[in-house]
Amino acid sequence: MSRTLHAFKSYKVKIDMGENYEIHYEDDEDYDIALGNWHYIYSALQYAEYLIGMEIDIPMYDWLDDAYEVHENEMILTDSGLFIRGLEAMINNINQLHKNENPLIDGHDWYLYNTDEKQYGTFDKQKEEIIWYAEKLLKWSKQGLHFVEERN
């Protein structure tokens, strides 16, 4: 099972022939991400939040169920500049961690890496995954793209 990450320039809400509202992303790069791997994206974003002291989040929408609400009130769009600042700080900081260093994220009461090695792998493996997703988000942020996690 996966959820789709949409990286897009703009969106439109269209009405289909059955009079249903639908969200359509334009200049979209979509990427199916296994549910378990969203953990790495949110770990990267929460660590970035901690480092820059500002909330960084990817809104969640369903292209059909939330379309009327988006039509009426518009979509919450991510801030590319904020993502760039946060992700650059996160990548720089995570690359400076020593082997097996697992920092406590103050104010969140959680550690960067999950200690369940069976499910998530070694700290080095988790670090690799977090950096990989962070670099992908950073690349898209630098292109001015916004992000949405599409609910299924």
3 state SS of 43? helix
Closest among 85, 26, 14 to 56, alpha carbons compared: 85
Domain that holds residue 39: 2-150
Domain count of the chain? 1
Best CA proximity match to 4, nearest among 79, 80, 60: 60
Q: What is the pLDDT of residue 152?
A: 66
Give pLDDT < 70 ranges for the chain. 1, 152
According to DSSP, the residues that pair with 136 across neighbouring strands are none
Paired tokens of 47: 């660590």
Burial 26-58 (b: 16+ CB within 10 A, else e): eebeeeebeeeebbbbebbbbbbbbbbeeebeb
Pair 113, 102: CB distance under 8 Å: yes
DSSP element (H, E) containing 96: none
pLDDT of residue 109: 77
